[in-house]
Amino acid sequence: MRLGDLKLFVRTVKLGSFSNAAREADLLPGQVSAAIKRLERELGIRLFARSTRSLRLTGEGETYLPSAITALEALAQGQERLHGEGNQLQGILQVAAPSDLGRNVLLSCFSQFRKEHPQLTLRLLISDRLANVFRDPVDIAIRYGCAEDASYVERPLAAWNRRVLVASPAYLSRHGRPAMLEDLSHHSCLLYMLNEHVYDNWKFGQQKIPVKGLLLSDDADVVRLWAIAGEGIAYKSWLDVREDVLSGRLEILLAQHLGELSPLNLVCPHRKQYSPAVRQLHQMLSRHLAPFAADMAAALANAEIPDSTA
């Protein structure tokens, strides 16, 4: 049995078609089809029920799939053990990260990781545009929220992370502190936009609060800098504004209303790209971000809560 045929079988199931599996493996669809037929002959079963419009697993295929996945994972783990975690990482690792987080929170980690592995080339792509880890030239993406494709491999970095309302002391001295969520409609809110979508409905639990403002940007770091400059109220990931809150440049508002969860994850397109380099980077980033959770809890507990009846 050819290992490549087994891998193509598993990827075809995950991706839903011979064409998608071929595109990922840089093969022709006919080559993938031939590999599946070869595997079927060796097993003596039909793995897929094919038609002109659909491709689905047969009962035998569904029975065989877990064994195929387990076998591939065992082989990958064995190969990693042979190479050893202590060996020097080599090659190229391409990472996509959001602008604010990548520049201000994770950059020092990336630099330290490269120093620890001098034979590794690190390509860092900083952008708020969501990287497509199948189409774009990246090995992994650091993302807020959950992956939209269930076939992606997703590892948590900060599952506890939330958004918080923040403003500078200068802004609050000029315009006052909102006492309730509805008061946000009377304040200048700093708006983030992505792919022409403006995020002007801020969620707090089951509530959606419509907000407005005259300053909008597709760069999350710009929104943060506007908030520090006293231009308005921002609704930001705690990871992005932690240093600003701890230093007093920004203050948390309406802490009695928990902000929307904004989990941070490391995403790669499939297990074969969850390499020793990716795993070690994931471990380093997780260690770096772990103390941020306690900082968030303390900041929310210590934030000033205005008297809404005043």
Burial of 296 (0-12, 13-18, 19+ CB in 10 A): buried
> What are the tokens at 41?
């002959």
Q: Determine contact, residues 248/178, Cβ cutoff 8 Å.
A: no
Name the pTM for this structure: 0.69
Q: Where in the chain is the domain with CATH 1.10.10.10?
A: 3-83
The answer to whether the CB of 72 falls within 8 A of the CB of 7 is yes
- How does 176-196 read in b/e, with b if 16+ C-beta sit within 10 Å? ebbeebebbeebbbbbbeeee
CATH superfamily of 91-159+263-296: Periplasmic binding protein-like II (3.40.190.10)
What pLDDT is stored for residue 268 in this prediction? 83
pLDDT at 134: 46
Does domain 3-83 sit in CATH 1.10.10.10?
yes
pLDDT, residue 80, reads 62
pLDDT given for residue 103 in this prediction: 92
* Distances from the Cα of 145 to the Cα of 88, 106, 157, 265, 292, angstroms: 32, 17, 11, 7, 17
CATH superfamily of 163-261: Periplasmic binding protein-like II (3.40.190.10)
CA distances from 223 to 97, 201, 241 (A): 17, 16, 11
Please tell me the predicted confidence (pLDDT) of residue 72: 84
**Range list for CATH 3.40.190.10 in the chain:** 91-159+263-296, 163-261
Kindly list the averaged pLDDT for each block of 10 residues, start to end, along the chain of length 310.
Answer: 90 87 88 93 91 84 88 75 63 89 94 92 84 61 76 85 97 96 96 91 94 95 97 97 97 95 87 78 93 94 73
Per-residue confidence (pLDDT) for residue 74, from 0 to 100 = 80
Distances (CA, A) of 235 to 140, 177, 231: 26, 15, 13
